[in-house]
Structure formats: structure tokens, C-alpha cells
Homo-oligomer: A and B are copies of this chain.
């Protein structure tokens, strides 16, 4: 491709709304342009990378014999009403009406759709297992879209769904997808981690996320050298909450004027946070839930939702709480509260003589004790872990790292097949609901994740397999005929072998080098001063010094060196090395 005719508008300025490097570089490099909040156009460079990512994903799906289909983006409301998610999914679901006033959604995911498609047509256990995938747009109306293509409202996903007649069969396919995803990440050429994950709004039992490591990743991951790793939403640890040997004191209600936060309470009453129990009210499908946790810990909402199997569960609004319980949010506590289910984290199980809200403005109870002063409905783990806590597998301190999720696999079980009445005839002749799995890969988000990991001060450093161009030919001047002629000759020779960009613009060498680095092309072939001696310069994206290659005798040597350098090229090793500097 000739750069003079290529639509790749690069920018010097950092866009206003770019909070992270990948967003900035994809805009500045001319890969994407924003059309509306969270809605992007992929310019030729961006589209090229996208299509290369798509191809790798598609090939790995075909390698595990998943069959490609294409489902509609606009989905009728009825199937979502049947599964119960029309109301449950919340405001992230974009909805519209057609001219006949029928309700549709712009599909945020396709479990309902695929289940509806195969039901009545996938009939016998003999046809199982089977998996179907598609690569298509998805829509989630994020309240605050950000980070460019990493958290967009319109995005491209590969989603796959599998159907089984046994847990063992699901397990086998789940593992095949797991391996295919690792293969994709290896072909993409990035550093990654596979972690245990929460199943969220999709539901089901097991789930794993595939995370691209990145300094400013959205996900926090806890991991251990022993192999344990999980997202913060899912991570557990082996912290032991020791039995207290205090004797129970008399409970008292004390004045705590304007003392609302845990910090305030600790300071005002001069007690440690570990002597306070935090009380948080949530509202879900089945009413109010009071969650209790030790004052120095953070509540893990994902674990709470997972425990109740209720994704609609959300923190009560202050106004609503006041109306319902007659007391401000800062003074809520388990003593005397009514019409709530009380769920407690294990961290409070052995506490004695602790502080809780007084269920009255400006009051707290001190010397509170479980069972004597209030009852707990259930204990479970609803706590966020922290780095340094003991690994649940081996006990060594957990480490923390940031990542960007690009893939997630789920064991759905019969959640959707039961709700949507999708049955097959089993070997014993009985009608049984399909056991299902689902497997998502964020295609457009992969673009952002890779740039977030692989860049330096000058721009993007694309891995060879997905670089928009593998190499760029740069004559330092188009006015010197001997340079442009040779460049032209080289371009014609190389474009059959590689994905080549020929920077034939009438611009300064510095300008061209900067663009090549910003865009992130793996290899530069520079035709400059050394051409007088019959030499071109060859340089990998991250190399400081170029290698001179004599072309007076022809291009054979040059071709060898190009191939050698491109084979050696590994941006993730380079990026790790600059991280350590």
C-alpha cells in the first residue's frame, strides 16, 4: 500500500478523552475515530488489525470444529421475556421498537437466541456435542463508556455456544475452548493469564477469564506461583479469623453525632476498625438483604450476587433506605432491624463486643454480640481479598496484577435450555434439557488490550501476526530519484511476500519515522544516505541501531535479513525489558 493514497490520518495531539495509552495511540495512529460516546469507526489501519484478529479467532474455532453461523443483532423481546432477562439485564440493554410497535433489543449476548434457534431442530443425543459460533456486533449501553474500544457500547465479539448430553461432554468441550483461547493468545503474541472468574449476568457454574496483562488493566487479578489465579470478583484466600477470648460485655447505645463512615466511628469511639461491623443494605428480586463484614474489609458485591443467584441485587439508595427503615444510611445496623435477610461474611463470625449502627440517627451500639443481640441468617464469603493474604491452594502470599479481559468461558448447565424449553431425546428415549456452555471473545477489545500491553513512548509495537503492515519502506526523500526508484523496485518485490507499506509521501524522514513508530510497524527498511554505498538500513520497531545491508549485488541478502529479523521480533519481551528499566 502506498502511504500517499492510504487513509491513515495520524495526529500529534493527545485526544481529550483518552485516559489510557491504548486509547490515545489508536486515535493518534489513525486506527479508530469516535462517532459517539462508546461508538467507534475503524479506519483502514484499525480494520486491518481487526480482520487479522478475527481470522486468528475464526481459525482456532474451526480447529476445534466449532461451526460458524450468523445470528441477528436485533432480537425480539419475547425470547428475553421467556428467560426472564428482559427485565433483569438492566439499563445496559439497548431497546427499540419497530414500526409496528414491537419490542426488540440490540443483543448484548445471544444465549436466548441460540437456544431458540436450535430448539426443535437439534433433536437427538446422536447430534451432540455440537458447538456453534459467530463473529458479530454486540451492544451494551455502558453508563460511562471509556478507554476507547476497551469499554465501548458497540463492539465486536466472537460468541460460541455448545450443547451436550452430559457434564463430561461439556467438560471436554470447555477444555477444548480453553486450549483454543490459549492458542489464540499465543498467536496474538501477548503476555496473558487465565483466571477463575465470576459468572455474572451470564450465569452458570465454572468460568474462566483470559486476561492480557497490562499496567492499566481494568481487572485486578490475584495469583500465586503455585498456579492459583482469579479475578478480584472471584478470588478467595486462606485468612484465618481467630476466635476471640473476650467475655461478652453489656450492649449499650451511645451518641455518635454525625458519625457515619467506618473511619468516623473508629476515630470517634477510639476503636480499631477490626472492632466494627459494617452493615450494607442491598435490594434484590426477593427483597432486602443486610450484608455484614468486618470494618477493615471491602464487601465483594459479585460474591453476594453469586450467593443469591440474583444479578439485580444492588446497593439500596439512601432515600429509599430512609423511607423503608426510618433511619439514615450511616446508622444502619443488625440490631433490631426488620424484614431483611442477614448475610454475614466469615470475618465477623468470631468477633465479640463490636460496634454496629444504632438504627437511630446519631447512635451506634457498642459491645454487640452475635446470637445474643441479633441473629445471622447465613455465613458466607462476601469479602474482597488483598494481596499478601495466603493463597487458598498453597498458603503463600497472593500477588496482585492488572489485566484486560479478552475472553471468558462459562459452563451454563441447563439454565437457558430449561427456561426456553430446549430439549433433546436422550439415549434412553427421554426428553432432557441441553447442558450448555458458552464462550466469548472480545474481538474489538483485543485491539485495545494488545496496544495497552505493547507500546512505548513512541507508539504502538504490534506483534507481527496482527500488525497492519509487517514492514514499511521509507526513502528519506522522494525527490532523489535514485532513492524513490529503488524504493519502488523494492516495494514491487516485497509486496508479494509481505504486508508492505511504502511511505512514498513527499515528507521529511523524521516525519515518516515518527508515523511508522506511532503506527507500530514491526520492521523499517530505510533508503537514505548509505544508498550511495549501495546499502539500505533495516531496523526492528524497538531497535535503536539499524543493520546495514548491501543491495548492490541484488536483494537476496536483504530478503534473508528481513525474514530473520521478523522471526526474532517479539514485542512482549522488549516491553517487559523496558518495564524493568
Interface residues of A (CB under 8 A from B): 4-7, 9, 33, 35-36, 39-44, 46-48, 50-51, 65, 67-76, 91-92, 94-96, 98-99, 102, 104, 106, 113, 116-118, 121-122, 126-127, 130, 132, 134, 137, 139, 141, 143, 153-154
16 A-B pairs (CB sep. < 8 Å): A4-B126, A5-B127, A7-B69, A7-B130, A9-B121, A35-B71, A36-B75, A41-B70, A44-B68, A47-B69, A73-B73, A73-B137, A74-B139, A74-B153, A92-B99, A94-B96
**Closest chain B residue to A35 by CB distance?**
B72
Please determine whether B73 and A154 come into contact, CB atoms closer than 8 angstroms. Answer: yes
**Closest chain B residue to A130 by CB distance?**
B7
Please determine whether B104 and A99 come into contact, CB atoms closer than 8 angstroms. Answer: no
With A99-B141, A106-B74 known as contacts, the answer to whether A5 contacts B41 (CB < 8 A) is: no
CA distance A169 to B488 in the complex (A): 25
With A67-B6, A69-B44, A99-B91 known as contacts, the answer to whether A33 contacts B74 (CB < 8 A) is: no
Please determine whether A154 and B72 come into contact, CB atoms closer than 8 angstroms. Answer: yes
Please determine whether B72 and A47 come into contact, CB atoms closer than 8 angstroms. Answer: no
Contact of A143 among B36, B92, B99 (CB under 8 A): B99
**Closest chain B residue to A110 by CB distance?**
B41
Q: Which residues on the B side are within 8 Å of A47 (C-beta)?
A: 68-70, 134
CA distance A39 to B75 in the complex (A): 8
Q: Which residues on the B side are within 8 Å of A70 (C-beta)?
A: 41-42, 46-47, 50
Number of chain copies forming the complex: 2
CA distance A388 to B173 in the complex (A): 65
Q: Which residues on the B side are within 8 Å of A65 (C-beta)?
A: 5
CA distance A113 to B34 in the complex (A): 11
A9 to chain B, nearest CB (A): 4
Please determine whether A72 and B39 come into contact, CB atoms closer than 8 angstroms. Answer: yes
Q: Which residues on the B side are within 8 Å of A99 (C-beta)?
A: 91-92, 141, 143
Contact of A153 among B48, B95, B98 (CB under 8 A): B98
Please determine whether B40 and A72 come into contact, CB atoms closer than 8 angstroms. Answer: yes
Q: Which residues on the B side are within 8 Å of A134 (C-beta)?
A: 47
CA distance A71 to B156 in the complex (A): 12
CA distance A4 to B125 in the complex (A): 12
CA distance A436 to B49 in the complex (A): 27
Q: Which residues on the B side are within 8 Å of A154 (C-beta)?
A: 72-74
CA distance A95 to B94 in the complex (A): 11
Please determine whether A41 and B67 come into contact, CB atoms closer than 8 angstroms. Answer: no
A139 to chain B, nearest CB (A): 7
With A41-B70, A74-B36, A130-B7 known as contacts, the answer to whether A98 contacts B141 (CB < 8 A) is: yes
A371 to chain B, nearest CB (A): 45
Please determine whether B96 and A95 come into contact, CB atoms closer than 8 angstroms. Answer: yes
CA distance A99 to B121 in the complex (A): 37
A159 to chain B, nearest CB (A): 13
Q: Which residues on the B side are within 8 Å of A94 (C-beta)?
A: 74, 96, 98
**Closest chain B residue to A30 by CB distance?**
B121
Q: Which residues on the B side are within 8 Å of A130 (C-beta)?
A: 5, 7
Please determine whether B91 and A67 come into contact, CB atoms closer than 8 angstroms. Answer: no
Contact of A35 among B9, B39, B113, B126 (CB under 8 A): B113
CA distance A76 to B154 in the complex (A): 13
Q: Which residues on the B side are within 8 Å of A7 (C-beta)?
A: 67, 69, 118, 122, 127, 130, 132
Q: Which residues on the B side are within 8 Å of A75 (C-beta)?
A: 35-36
The 6 closest A-B CB pairs, nearest first, are A96-B96, A42-B70, A9-B121, A44-B67, A36-B76, A39-B72
CA distance A102 to B113 in the complex (A): 27
A64 to chain B, nearest CB (A): 12
**Closest chain B residue to A34 by CB distance?**
B72
With A91-B99, A122-B7, A141-B98 known as contacts, the answer to whether A74 contacts B43 (CB < 8 A) is: no
Please determine whether A33 and B68 come into contact, CB atoms closer than 8 angstroms. Answer: no
CA distance A42 to B104 in the complex (A): 19
CA distance A50 to B137 in the complex (A): 17
A274 to chain B, nearest CB (A): 40
Q: Which of A35, A50, A116, A122 is packed against the most chain B CB atoms within 10 Å?
A: A35
